[in-house]
């Protein structure tokens, strides 16, 4: 038997939550094949099998949080399926065929069960209209069913058929627990709003020069490098230049002290099913647009396949969230602690703009909002930072940098 343990995903990580088993006992597993998923304070990821064989037993069920190096399962390297003695569940016995339902009684046979004699006319009407005479109340002598009783029954049946169906009942409320990721996001967001007084300043940015550069280059980038060229690396490049010009926006607070970070490490928010994660591009100020785009694509892809390493979601000094990719004009994002600012980027769209000489022209514009921690940053500095970012984008040389 080979023990499968909860791995240590970083020096500061002491426990992890086993969120999902990808195999069940009795399944064949190959070495390095994804075996289960875990969630820690820093990252969600898949854990590979340490050996090939059969998953003999699972010792930790889904949803449990255990310490690192805890044995969560065992792999039998000597047995493979039925050939090596694993029990094979017996096939369930075939269900006996159900007897056919009894044939429905004809109206004439139904009439035999109705009290009182029936006239030939009543029997004929019952046959023609497929009436179960047991459902008709007779008003004749001794409870006999008359022609008028059948006509009244038919009229009522027609009214019921023509009536609109009752409105569908509302579905019952459904209760399910939050996922581990959703709980961590909730805790982090509540903590951030409690710690930092949030203020957001919004600027309109003329993205026309960037849009022209992107439009002229995106086909060649796709053909040569295999990824799309978006607006986000241009914005990230401009943000890095603005952070270099205003290092207080790249700082953090430690008690009563200001920590000025030596690196510009920009986190890019990535939407996942049921949550989000913010992988970090380290030394973003040293990278050009193509390198930034490559890093964004790589980190986003591995975030969605749970392949990020713990260190790739740590050490961020500033964050960007691109809600414009979903068509939003702008928003007021929450600061990713312990950072002191986050940039929200809205959709880039063409709009009429007043230019020199009071003329109106069509330009590509975008609303960008900087949410900042008012303990450290004031509105004047936040707007100076946004002015620098805006200037970089609006005066783009229409070449890659």
* Residue corresponding to tokens 């514009």: 365
Burial class (CB in 10 A: 0-12, 13-18, 19+), 12: exposed
> What mean pLDDT do residues 344-351 have?
96
Q: Annotated catalytic, 27?
A: no
Per-residue pLDDT, 71: 95
The 10 Å Cβ neighbour count of residue 275 is 18
Residue 107 banded pLDDT, cuts 50, 70, 90? very low
What gap in Å lies between CA 337 and CA 35, rounded to an integer?
32
What tokens does 32 get? 């390095």
Q: At what angle do helices 147-162 and 120-128 cross, to 10 degrees?
A: 20
Highest mean pLDDT among 73-87, 132-146, 151-165, 299-313: 299-313
Per-residue pLDDT, 90: 44
Range from 90-99, 232-241, 370-379 carrying the lowest mean pLDDT: 90-99
Q: Annotated catalytic, 378?
A: yes
Res 93 pLDDT > 70: no
- Rounded to the nearest integer, the mean pLDDT of the chain is 87
Per-residue pLDDT, 272: 87
Q: What is the pTM of this model?
A: 0.65
Residue 42 banded pLDDT, cuts 50, 70, 90? low
Res 211 pLDDT > 90: yes
Q: What is the DSSP string of 240-272?
A: HHHHHH-GGGG-EEETTEEE--SS--EEE-EEE
Q: Using alpha carbons, select from 47, 53, 10 the residue that is nearest to residue 32.
A: 47
pLDDT in tens, 270-295: 998 878 899 999 999 999 999 999 99
Per-residue pLDDT, 82: 46
Given the residues 76, 180, 374, 383, the one annotated as active site: 374
Q: What percent of the chain has pLDDT over 90?
A: 56
Per-residue pLDDT, 83: 41
pLDDT in tens, 120-134: 778 888 888 888 888
Residue 159 banded pLDDT, cuts 50, 70, 90? confident
* Residue corresponding to tokens 């970083």: 10
Given the residues 44, 358, 378, 383, the one annotated as active site: 378
322 neighbors 328 (Cβ within 8 angstroms):
no
> What mean pLDDT do residues 171-196 have?
89
Per-residue pLDDT, 117: 66
Q: Is the peptide bond before 338 cis (omega within 30 degrees of 0)?
A: yes
Which domains does the chain show, CATH number per domain? 2-81 (2.40.50.100), 111-155 (4.10.320.10), 198-394 (3.30.559.10)
Q: Using alpha carbons, select from 265, 374, 260, 356 the residue that is nearest to residue 318.
A: 265
DSSP letter (8 states) at residue 113: T
> What mean pLDDT do residues 144-165 have?
85
> What mean pLDDT do residues 14-36 have?
90
Res 29 pLDDT > 80: yes
Residue 8 banded pLDDT, cuts 50, 70, 90? confident
Pairing outcome for strands 341-345 and 280-281: unpaired
pLDDT in tens, 348-395: 999 999 988 889 999 999 999 999 999 999 999 999 999 999 999 999
Q: Using alpha carbons, select from 325, 249, 236 the residue that is nearest to residue 281.
A: 236
What gap in Å lies between CA 308 and CA 39, rounded to an integer?
12
What is the spatial order of strands in the sheet that 15-21 belongs to? Answer: 44-48, 34-39, 15-21, 65-67
The 10 Å Cβ neighbour count of residue 292 is 22
């Amino acid at each position: 038997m080979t023990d499968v343990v909860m791995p240590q995903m970083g020096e500061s990580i002491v426990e992890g939550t086993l969120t999902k088993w990808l195999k069940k006992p009795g399944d064949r597993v190959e070495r390095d094949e994804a075996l289960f998923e875990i969630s820690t304070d820093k990252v969600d990821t898949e854990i590979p099998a340490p050996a090939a064989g059969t998953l003999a037993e699972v010792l930790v069920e889904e949803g449990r949080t255990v310490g690192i190096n805890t044995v969560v399962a065992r792999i039998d390297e000597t047995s493979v399926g039925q050939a090596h003695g694993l029990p094979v569940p017996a096939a369930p016995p075939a269900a006996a065929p159900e007897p056919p339902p009894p044939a429905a009684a004809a109206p004439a046979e139904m009439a035999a069960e109705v009290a009182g004699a029936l006239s030939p006319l009543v029997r004929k009407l019952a046959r023609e209209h497929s009436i179960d005479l047991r459902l008709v109340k007779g008003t004749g002598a001794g409870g006999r069913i008359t022609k008028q009783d059948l006509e009244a029954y038919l009229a009522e049946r027609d009214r019921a058929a023509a009536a609109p169906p009752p409105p569908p009942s509302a579905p019952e409320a459904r209760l399910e627990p939050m996922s581990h990721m959703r709980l961590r996001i909730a805790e982090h967001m509540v903590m951030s709003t409690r710690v930092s007084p949030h203020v957001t300043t919004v600027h309109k940015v003329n993205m026309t020069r960037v849009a022209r550069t992107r439009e002229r280059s995106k086909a060649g980038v796709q053909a040569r490098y295999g990824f799309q060229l978006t607006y986000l690396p241009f914005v990230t490049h401009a943000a890095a230049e603005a952070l270099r010009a205003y290092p207080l926006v790249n700082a953090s607070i430690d008690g009563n002290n200001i920590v000025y970070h030596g690196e510009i490490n920009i986190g890019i928010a990535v939407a996942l099913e049921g949550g989000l994660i913010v992988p970090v591009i380290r030394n973003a100020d040293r990278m050009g647009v193509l390198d930034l785009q490559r890093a964004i694509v790589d980190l986003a892809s591995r975030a969605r396949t749970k392949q990020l390493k713990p260190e790739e979601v740590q050490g961020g000094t500033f964050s960007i969230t691109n809600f414009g990719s979903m068509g939003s004009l702008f928003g007021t994002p929450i600061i990713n602690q312990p950072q002191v600012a986050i940039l929200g980027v809205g959709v880039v769209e063409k709009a009429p703009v007043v230019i020199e000489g009071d003329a109106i022209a069509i330009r590509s514009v975008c609303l960008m909002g900087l949410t900042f921690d008012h303990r450290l940053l004031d509105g004047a500095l936040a707007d100076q930072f946004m002015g620098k970012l805006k200037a970089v984008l609006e005066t783009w040389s229409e070449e890659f940098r």
